[in-house]
Amino acid sequence: MAELVRDGETLVLQLSTAEKLESVHGDLRVPISAVQDVRVVDDVIHAVHGMKLPGSRLPGVFAMGTFVTGSETTFAIVHHGNARGLKVTLTGAPYNAVIIGLEDPEGVKARLGF
């Protein structure tokens, strides 16, 4: 299961081997200075929009990979059964947002210091 951690001044999305294969991506690292907002999302699977490029998706069930809508690019890791999660809005990074399904999004947000 993916884990969102803080490593000094870097926010790291650590992916399992299966998630790396399904998302066609490795761990994601962005500077803390790129983080504009971190908010809890109650319906996380429906927060993922756009065309999948590349990755894996079954609409309404799971979404893993890069999703593009117009000029917005989002990286998502949402498993079947993840009802809630976090949306991290970024600026000056390769992605405009990162969406991750989590069992305890409030706890992860607090642990990261946001």
The tens digit of pLDDT for each residue in 51-68 reads 998 999 998 899 999 999
Question: Residue 45: is it exposed, middle or buried by C-beta count within 10 angstroms (0-12/13-18/19+)?
Answer: buried
Global pTM reads 0.95
Residue 7 pairs in a beta bridge with 10
Give the torsion through C-alpha atoms of 85, 30, 50, 42, to 10 deg. Answer: 10
Number of domains, the chain: 1
Give me the domain span that covers residue 35. 3-112
Tens digits of per-residue pLDDT, 13-62? 999 999 999 999 999 999 999 999 999 999 999 999 999 989 999 988 99
H or E element: which one contains 18? Answer: helix 17-23
